[in-house]
Every structure is written in C-alpha cells, then in structure tokens.
Amino acid sequence: MEALFRKVSSFSATTILILLSAIFVVLFIYAKPAIKEFGFNFITDPRWDVSVTLKNKTAAQKTDNTANSAVANVGNNQAQQNMDSDAIPQDSEDIDIPQDNDDIAISQDDDLGIAQDDDLGKSNTKTVYGGLIPIVGTVLSTILAMFFAVPIAMGISVFLAEVAPSFISKPVGMAIELLAAIPSIIYGMWGLFYFGPLVAKTFGGSSVSLLVAGMVLAVMIIPFMASLTRDSMNTTPNVLKESAYAMGATKFEVIKDVIFPYAKKGIIGSIILALGRALGETMAVAFVIGGVFSFPDKLTDPTVSIPVVLANSFAESSGMSLNALFYLALILFVISFAIISFAKFYFLREKK
Amino acid sequence: MRLVINKIVLLLSTISALIGLGFLFWILVTLTVKGIGAIDLHIFTHDLVNNGLRNLLVGQFVLALIAVIVGVPIGMIAGIYLQEYSFGNKYAEFIRNLSDVMMSAPSIVIGTFVYAVIVNPVGHQNGWAGAIALAIMMIPIVVRTTDDMLGLVPRELREAGVAIGAPKYKVIVNIIIKAAKVGIMTGILLAFARIVGETAPLLFTSGNSQYFTLNLNEVFPSLTVAIYNLATMPDENLVKIAWAGAFILTLFVLIINLFGRYLIKDKK
C-alpha cells in the first residue's frame, strides 16, 4: 500500500513532464508537413494563404540548378503537392501577388520549383504560408504593452509599498489583486467598445489597431505586474531601509538605492513573467487588433498576432493551412517557454 | 534639490497609481452599467437560441467542474510527491519549476494541443475536449498550491504520526492533508475561478452550442466562447446578451476570489 501510494504520487509528478513534452511533440508532428514545406523561411515569409503561380520558365531554370536534389525529393514533393491541391481555393489564379518575380525567387529556396519536374508543360499554382506578419504583430504588440505597462506598474507598486499609508495600500493592493483575476475576455470587450473608439478619436486611425491592442494588453497586465513587483519590493528588510533613512536619505533615494537593488531580480523576473503573459494572450487582443494580414505602417494600423490567427482561423482550417497554424502555435509555445523558463530559472530562483 | 526630486518622483508614482486604477475602475463601471442594464429574468430561463444565457451558464460551469474533477487529484497527488516524497532531490526541483513554467504557457497553445489529440481523432468538437483543456491548465496551479500549503504544515505533526507507527501514506492522508485542508481548498477555489473565465482553450475544443445539452460527446455550450462570438455581431440585442454574460462571469469570478481570501484570513 505504501509503495503503491508512493508510485502513484511520483507518477503524477511526472505527468507534468509528460504533458509538456507531449504538447511539444504533438505540435511538432502536426506542424511537420508545414515545416517540411516552408522550412525556416516560414519565419521570414510575409505571405499567408497566398497562391503563387509558378511559371514554366522559372521552373525550367530551377530544374537545371537543382537536378540532383530533385531526384531525391520527387517522392516527397508529390505527396506535398497532393496536400496543396486540397488547400488551393477555386479562384486561386486571380490572387497573384504584385511582386510575382521576387516571390518566385524566394520560393526557389524552399525547393518549391522542383515539383515541376513531372509536369513541365503546365503552369501550376500553390498556396504559400508564411508567419512573418503574425510574428511581427505579436512582438510589436508585446513591446508596446510593456512600454505602457512597466512605468505605470512600477509607479503603482512603489506607491503601494512605500508611499501610501497602510489604510490606503491594503484595500488598493487587494483591489489590484482582484483585478488581476478578471478574465481577459472582459478586457477585450471593453477595448472593443470603449477604449478602441477613444484611441481612434485621439490618435486617428481605426478603432482596431496595433496601438489599441498594445494598450489593452498593458491595462490587462498592469495588475499582475504591479502585485508581483510590490511583493518583491516588500521583501526588502526594514533594517536596510531604516539605516538609509537614518543617514538622511529621502524616500526616493531609499527606493532607488536600497529597494531597487535589493529587489532587482524579483522585479525583473516579474516583468518578464508579465511579458510572457502578454505574448500568449489571446482574448484581450483578438477583439482589438483587427485580424488583418498586413504589416502595420503606422501604430494605428490593424494587424494580427499569433494567438489571434489561431483563434480566428483554427476551427475552419484543414490540410496545409492547419499544419501552418500548428507551426505558428509551435513557434509561440517555444518562444514563451524560453522566456518564462529564463525568468524562472535565472531571476526568480526560490531561495530554500 | 534632493527634496524637490523626491517630491516629483513620489508625485509621479501616485499619479501612475491613479492612472492605472482609473482604467481598471473604468472597466468595472462600464461592465456593471452595461451588464445590469442587460440582465433580466428572460436571460436565466432561456437558451442562447432564444436569446438567453441558461445553457451557456450551465455549460461553462459543467466544463470547469469536470476540469476540477479531472485536474485536482492529479495536481494534488503530484504536489504531495513534491513536498513529502522528494526529500528535496533535483528531479523534484526540476518538476516544480516545470510546473511553474506550464502555469504560464499560452492557453491557446493548450487548446491547439487538445484539438490535435482529441478533436481531430474524434472528428468534431466536443465537451470532453474542452473540459480536458481546462484540466490541463488547472493541474500546475493545483500542484503549486498543494506544494506550498503542505510546506506550511509543521514538521512535528509528521513526526508524531510516524512515532505512533502509522505508515507514511496514512500520515499524509489523515494528518498532513487534514492540517492543510483549508489552504488547499482555497487554492482549488482560486484555480477554479481562474479556469472558469478562460476562453482561448475552449474556442476550438468544446466549441459553442446554441442549445441546452449535458452530453459531453457533442459540441458543448460555453459562456466565454459565446461572449466572444456575440460581442462581434452587428445585432445590438446579441451584444447586450454578451454584456450580461460578461458581467455575470466577472461577478462570479470576483466573488469566488473574495471568498477564497476570506477563508485564508479566517484561518490566520
């Protein structure tokens, strides 16, 4: 009985490891056709669900250059082609993108042209998926959110830890903690109906944009960041602070020279944790970023982020587009895993 | 000069606190005004197909409840291992950190994972998939609280149990867990509050149904997914229902959180 209990408990602990590795492996397996098809160019390719016409001329040139590798790859490419043709929409020929030549030049690197070996006589179309726009959208909205959130969250936590008397800081601190518990969809809705239009009125542009997304994200992570930062500021021993005051230091000097250095690791760690949360946030962003596959020229342009692409198109996708979405999910998972574990292992190591 | 800088910085800090709180206050006020304006008896007695919320409220609650039933035992037993059986070895430390990392993993990625392992093989969205996605989100939270709460149980209690000859599992089940009961219950309550408001992992796992159902093998009604769909509709009536749902959800989450805090305080 004792041994059984012990085994079960040790197995349960291992489920965490199993689950995390399973998430990685399953995402990888489902993303594999897309990884094979687009390789690492996926990350730098700005085209999503765009049909590219491969003309005979380029295909023929390509054949010369890569005859050797083509032989090895024919089997593979045929399989991929079958999958592609499922994903190609009926009217794909009309959707040629403007810089056709450039794009074909890029596609050659992905050994797309090789597939032409078998049917040199016909022109062919294929659908290309690239993740650059959602990746850029994710990174930009996160940076914007951090830009707005960090100063305000720092201000709040300094206020709570040092400035406010305890009859104010206790209820306010509790309110902040409660606000961190509000579901993110609420922030998204508020952004869509109230905050977005206000931002559009003030800065121009539309009420769904990168700027609105960044700001709504900021509002969402402020409570989380502020309460974590306040907690680490509160770990500063009173003796340290008092000795600084005794030397005649002002409150600001105590904060700057005693509290910040002492709680530095915890503060940076909580900022990174908040960053990780902003990176993977879906609902607060989905309402207000616009969901448009285009690069934002200005901050007030709509764009898209990885979680939003997943949320909007996952259920209706199949074939290669689904594989490409899994590729995006895998990228998001790896990035946030890396950031969070960096924060955890380097900054927030618990002293025991 | 130093005093002036000091004044300026403290003022800035107070202002930023006011800005932050102002935004959050603004959210709560609009939510309350819009929400209370949209709530009436009709909403609680009709399903979404008749412009009501009944099936959604029940569906969301059932999904979260099953997630608790599936996730809590695994999380608790794993937490017990970390605190009672690991004796501080490296593996336990590794799992502990991994669990914290998993707690912050993007929820939508967990949705895609469950889609791949359940929805795709089954062929359609179903309630089980949604509940399991929520359970996966819940496990690391429960691990963390169990681990922390068991850590607070005094060593003497363990020794007393062992000294009267009880096997270790009996000591754990009958003494240690009993001592940490309130803390663990609170942790589970807070974890429940957190997953009940999740949307992203449900979007393509449970989907959303317009009708009342308790059959988890079918597409299942979910309040949060419905809010997301309804809020972006052009029909003002549907947006109104979305606000009502959002208000009820927030109120529910905040009340559970307050209750959890009250439990912890009461114990101290």
CATH number at residue B67: 1.10.3720.10
Would B34 be classed as within a structural domain?
no
Let me know whether A101 and A164 are in one domain. Answer: no
Contacts of A123 (CB under 8 A, 6+ apart): A53, A54, A55, A56
In chain A, residues with a C-beta closer than 8 Å to the C-beta of B5 are: 250, 252
Distance CA B260, CA B49 (A): 35
Q: A190 lies in which domain range?
A: 133-347
| pLDDT at residue B59 greater than cutoff 80 | yes
What is the maximum alpha-carbon separation in chain A? 88
Q: Which amino acid is at A188?
A: G
Residue-level length of chain A:
352
Q: B188 lies in which domain range?
A: 39-267
Chain A neighbours among B 222-241 (CB < 8 Å)?
224, 227-228, 231-232
Would B219 be classed as within a structural domain?
yes
* Confidence band of A317 (pLDDT split at 50, 70, 90): confident
pLDDT at A185: 92
Across all residues in chain B, what is the average pLDDT? 87
Let me know whether A124 and A180 are in one domain. Answer: no
Let me know whether A342 and A199 are in one domain. Answer: yes
Distance CA B96, CA B75 (A): 12
pLDDT at A88: 38
Could you tell me what percent of chain B has a pLDDT over 70? 99
Q: Which has the closest alpha carbon to A287: A162, A197, A221?
A: A197
| pLDDT at residue A95 greater than cutoff 80 | no
| pLDDT at residue B28 greater than cutoff 60 | yes
pLDDT at A73: 39
Contact, B153 vs B181, CB < 8 A? Answer: no
- How confident is the model over A9-31, as a mean pLDDT? 89
User: Residue A19 CA to chain centroid, in angstroms?
Assistant: 21
Cα dist from B7 to A258, B1, B11, B12, whole Å: 18, 10, 6, 9
Would B4 be classed as within a structural domain?
no
Would A304 be classed as within a structural domain?
yes
Neighbours of A64 (CB within 10 A): 7
Could you tell me what percent of chain A has a pLDDT over 90? 16
ipTM: 0.89
| pLDDT at residue B265 greater than cutoff 90 | no
* Confidence band of B251 (pLDDT split at 50, 70, 90): very high
Q: B27: nearest CA in chain A?
A: A190
The residue whose two tokens read 């529910």 is: B252
pTM, whole model, 2 decimals? 0.82
CATH number at residue A273: 1.10.3720.10
What is the maximum alpha-carbon separation in chain B? 71
| pLDDT at residue A117 greater than cutoff 50 | no
**Least confidently predicted of A105-114, A258-267, A316-325, A339-348:** A105-114
pLDDT at A96: 38
Let me know whether A140 and A263 are in one domain. Answer: yes
Would A209 be classed as within a structural domain?
yes
- How confident is the model over A118-134, as a mean pLDDT? 67
End-to-end C-alpha distance for chain B, whole angstroms: 46
Give one word for A290, left, alpha or beta, with left for phi > 0 and alpha for psi -120 to 50: left
In chain A, residues with a C-beta closer than 8 Å to the C-beta of B207 are: 315
End of a domain among A95, A129, A163?
A129
Q: Which amino acid is at A44?
A: T
In chain A, residues with a C-beta closer than 8 Å to the C-beta of B232 are: 192, 287
pLDDT at A152: 92
Number of domains in chain A: 2
Tell me the three state secondary structure of residue A323.
helix
Would A36 be classed as within a structural domain?
no
Let me know whether A148 and A113 are in one domain. Answer: no
End of a domain among A102, A129, A156?
A129
Best interface-test mutation with B: which of A8, A10, A16 has the largest number of B CBs within 10 A? A16
End of a domain among A66, A94, A129?
A129
Q: B194: nearest CA in chain A?
A: A181
Contact, B207 vs B220, CB < 8 A? Answer: yes
- How crowded is the C-beta side of B86, counted as CA atoms within 13 Å? 25
Would B21 be classed as within a structural domain?
no
Return the CA Rg of chain B. Answer: 22
- How confident is the model over B133-156, as a mean pLDDT? 90
Q: Which has the closest alpha carbon to A305: A327, A275, A328?
A: A328
Would A73 be classed as within a structural domain?
yes
Would A27 be classed as within a structural domain?
no
Would A14 be classed as within a structural domain?
no
Let me know whether A250 and A231 are in one domain. Answer: yes
Let me know whether A323 and A341 are in one domain. Answer: yes
In degrees, to the nearest 5, what angle opens at C-alpha A210 toward C-alphas A30 and A340? 50
Number of domains in chain B: 1
Contact, A136 vs A295, CB < 8 A? Answer: yes
**Between these two residues, A126 and A81, which has the higher pLDDT value?**
A126
pLDDT tens digits for range A148-176: 999 999 999 999 888 888 888 888 888 88
Tell me the three state secondary structure of residue B143.
helix
Residue among B24, B108, B136 minimizing CB distance to A307: B108
The residue whose two tokens read 């503060």 is: A267
Helix axis angle, A306-313 to A319-342, nearest 10°: 140
Going through chain A in order, the beta strands assigned E by DSSP cover 48-54, 124-129
Neighbours of B268 (CB within 10 A): 5
Would A32 be classed as within a structural domain?
no
Would B13 be classed as within a structural domain?
no
Q: How close A92 comes to chain B (CA, Å)?
A: 27
Let me know whether A87 and A73 are in one domain. Answer: yes
- The first and second tokens of residue A154, run together, are 């720092």
**Least confidently predicted of A39-43, A181-185, A192-196, B234-238:** A39-43
| pLDDT at residue A92 greater than cutoff 80 | no
**Least confidently predicted of A211-215, B73-77, B230-234:** B230-234
pLDDT at A341: 86
Would B194 be classed as within a structural domain?
yes
Across all residues in chain A, what is the average pLDDT? 77
Please judge whether A185 and B197 are an interchain contact, meaning their C-beta atoms are less than 8 angstroms apart. Answer: yes
Q: How close B85 comes to chain A (CA, Å)?
A: 7
Neighbours of A294 (CB within 10 A): 14
Let me know whether A244 and A137 are in one domain. Answer: yes
**Least confidently predicted of A10-24, A112-126, A322-336:** A112-126
Q: What is the DSSP string of B173-199?
A: IIIIHHHTHHHHHHHHHHHHHHHHT--
In chain A, residues with a C-beta closer than 8 Å to the C-beta of B17 are: 155-156, 159-160, 164, 172
Distance CA B65, CA B216 (A): 13
Judge residue A350's burial from the number of C-beta atoms within 10 Å of its C-beta, 0-12 exposed, 13-18 middle, 19 or more buried: exposed
Burial A177-213 (b: 16+ CB within 10 A, else e): bbbbbbbbbbbbbbbbbbbbeebbeeeebebbbbbbb
pLDDT at B183: 87
Please judge whether B101 and A175 are an interchain contact, meaning their C-beta atoms are less than 8 angstroms apart. Answer: no
Let me know whether A179 and A255 are in one domain. Answer: yes
Burial A41-63 (b: 16+ CB within 10 A, else e): bbeebbbbbbbbbbbeebbeebe
Please judge whether B9 and A252 are an interchain contact, meaning their C-beta atoms are less than 8 angstroms apart. Answer: yes
pLDDT at A133: 87
Q: Which has the closest alpha carbon to B111: B134, B140, B127?
A: B134
Let me know whether A65 and A86 are in one domain. Answer: yes
| pLDDT at residue A109 greater than cutoff 60 | no
Cβ-based contacts under 8 A for chains A and B: 254
pLDDT tens digits for range B207-230: 788 888 888 888 888 899 999 888
Would B80 be classed as within a structural domain?
yes
- How confident is the model over A17-42, as a mean pLDDT? 87
Would B125 be classed as within a structural domain?
yes
pLDDT tens digits for range A42-80: 777 777 777 776 654 444 444 444 333 333 333 343 333
Let me know whether A167 and A231 are in one domain. Answer: yes
Please judge whether A184 and B199 are an interchain contact, meaning their C-beta atoms are less than 8 angstroms apart. Answer: yes
SS3 content of chain B, % helix, strand, coil (to 5): 80, 0, 20
- The first and second tokens of residue B110, run together, are 């967990």
Tell me the three state secondary structure of residue A127.
strand
Q: B106: nearest CA in chain A?
A: A280
The residue whose two tokens read 């004044």 is: B7
Q: Which amino acid is at A42?
A: F
pLDDT at A123: 52
